[in-house]
Amino acid sequence: MKEQEFLHLIRLDRATLTVWIEEAWLSPSEREGERVFEEVDLARARLILDLKQELGVNDQGVGVILHLVDQVHGLRSAMRDLLGSMHEKSGAERDQ
């Protein structure tokens, strides 16, 4: 989705969005000179809003939490790959 639609859906002003991108809290792609947002960006922005508005987390805390969330997702992906490799290996051993 384009930036304007994203801002409307998340109910955010452009200046705040710019800060979030500068802080690397959001990383939209760019097409034809325009920022393009995916559903994952929308979910992440909602998480940021919840952290700040509902839980009262300050900006430094938001950065730490987002970093930890990213690490957890990375670990889940690595674990999924490892388990997939183990299943493939055990299947190949059974076939021999």
pLDDT tens, residue by residue, 38-61: 999 999 999 999 999 999 999 999
Q: Is the pLDDT of residue 91 over 90?
A: no
Any idea what the CATH number is for the domain that residue 52 is in? Answer: 1.10.1660.10
pLDDT tens, residue by residue, 14-29: 999 999 999 999 999 9
Burial 61-71 (b: 16+ CB within 10 A, else e): ebeebbeeeee
Q: Which tokens go with 56?
A: 């009262």
- Per-residue pLDDT averaged across 55-77, rounded? 96
> Domain count of the chain?
1
Confirm if 25 and 44 have CB atoms less than 8 A apart. yes
pTM: 0.81
Domain span at 67: 3-95
pLDDT at res. 94:
67
